Amino acid sequence: MQLRINHTTTFTYDGKATASFNQARLTPVTTPEQIVVHSRVEVSPKPWFYEYRDYFGAVVTAFEVVDPHEVLVVAATSTVQAHRQAPSEPTLTWADMATREVADRWTEDLVLPDLVTPPHDFATRVKQLAADADLPGHAARAVCSLVHDQVEHLPRSRHVQSHAAEAWQQRAGVCQDLAHLVIGGLRTLGIPARYVAGYRHPDADPAVGATVPSEAHAWVEWWDDGWTAYDPTCDAAPDDRYVSIGAGRDHDDVPPLRGIYSGASTADMSVEVEVTRLA
């Protein structure tokens, strides 16, 4: 499936911003499951900018606007050819997962910062699921199903900084919250897990040529002698409707935009994402 993604973020200040410096992670990466055919990030007013790959492999467009401005627009356009394989069956055993080789290699994907640390009652339920699972991979899918069934997904919310514990307590959250909750649960079991940022076409069978509104999306991957992707929001493995921007320990490693500005005291942000199936 070939998809075109338009992601436009507009900052409107309550006065003139005299300068701003930002980092944008809006460019998909080429992987064995997707090929980036074309990508472009445009900023208005015209900035000074450069691109690099960060520690986790994401493409970063860093830009600085030094002219006074009341509106800042960041528009990213990408065309991606996606071809995801069906998920393979789990291979690692609990004994394999407990080896030092796994723990040493994926140390960063086993830590529990505040953003993903699960509450005690959720961790208890996760351990019960693990006790009933013959393989870590089966336990991981059970944790995803638990979060999908128990936590209501709130689409089109701008709040993505909730901790996993808050999402579980409220039994509601955006896709980023659901991913954080699953990641925390898997890490308490000793299963390396990471956060994936990207996009998903919202239609189950997208029509070619039709442009539809969408939003940034997040899902998870866990280690099973290779990274296994799963989307707890939909309780399904990602298919060709998914496009990845990058992966990290949590949302803070792959935020779409991050920056600072001087001058105006406040700013309002609006985000529009459109997805079109091209083929």
**Based on the domain organization, do 76 and 163 belong to the same domain?**
no
**Based on the domain organization, do 78 and 208 belong to the same domain?**
no
Q: What distance in Å separates the CA atoms of residue 252 and residue 241, rounded to the nearest whole number?
A: 24
The number of distinct structural domains making up the chain is 2
**Total Cβ atoms within 10 A of residue 234:** 19
Write the DSSP string, 167-201: HHHHTEE-HHHHHHHHHHHHHHTT--EEEEEEEE-
Kindly state whether residue 154 falls inside one of the protein's structural domains.
yes
Express each pLDDT in 185-227 by its tens digit.
999 999 999 999 999 999 999 999 999 999 999 999 999 999 9
**Based on the domain organization, do 102 and 216 belong to the same domain?**
yes
**Based on the domain organization, do 240 and 267 belong to the same domain?**
no
Kindly state whether residue 21 falls inside one of the protein's structural domains.
yes
**Based on the domain organization, do 260 and 238 belong to the same domain?**
no
Tokens of 1: 């499936």
Kindly state whether residue 185 falls inside one of the protein's structural domains.
yes
Nearest to 26 by CA among 69, 66, 67, 63: 63
Kindly state whether residue 57 falls inside one of the protein's structural domains.
yes
**Based on the domain organization, do 19 and 75 belong to the same domain?**
yes
Express each pLDDT in 70-97 by its tens digit.
999 999 999 999 999 988 899 999 999 9
Alpha-carbon Rg for the chain in angstroms? 19
Express each pLDDT in 113-149 by its tens digit.
999 999 999 999 999 999 999 999 999 999 999 999 9
Indicate whether 161 pLDDT > 90.
no
Q: What is the pLDDT of residue 267?
A: 84
Cross-strand bridge partners of residue 213? 274
Nearest to 9 by CA among 216, 219, 179, 208: 216
Domain hosting residue 8, numbered range:
2-83+255-277
Indicate whether 252 pLDDT > 90.
yes
**Based on the domain organization, do 228 and 117 belong to the same domain?**
yes
Nearest to 189 by CA among 126, 235, 248: 126
Q: What is the pLDDT of residue 160?
A: 53
Q: How many helices, marked H, and strands, marked E, lie in the chain?
A: 6, 15
Q: What is the pLDDT of residue 31?
A: 95
CATH number at residue 231: 3.10.620.30
Indicate whether 238 pLDDT > 70.
yes
**Based on the domain organization, do 246 and 273 belong to the same domain?**
no
Express each pLDDT in 20-47 by its tens digit.
999 999 999 999 999 999 999 999 999 9
**Based on the domain organization, do 64 and 101 belong to the same domain?**
no
Kindly state whether residue 259 falls inside one of the protein's structural domains.
yes
**Based on the domain organization, do 66 and 150 belong to the same domain?**
no
Express each pLDDT in 170-188 by its tens digit.
999 999 999 999 999 999 9
**Based on the domain organization, do 211 and 268 belong to the same domain?**
no
Q: At 26, which amino acid appears? A: L
Q: What is the pLDDT of residue 210?
A: 97
Across the chain, what does the average pLDDT equal?
95
CATH number at residue 49: 2.60.40.2250
Please classify residue 3 by burial: count the beta carbons closer than 10 Å to its beta carbon, then call 0-12 exposed, 13-18 middle and 19+ buried: buried
**Based on the domain organization, do 123 and 157 belong to the same domain?**
yes
Please classify residue 274 by burial: count the beta carbons closer than 10 Å to its beta carbon, then call 0-12 exposed, 13-18 middle and 19+ buried: middle
Confidence of residue 266 (pLDDT cuts 50, 70, 90): confident
Kindly state whether residue 50 falls inside one of the protein's structural domains.
yes
Q: What is the pLDDT of residue 155?
A: 83
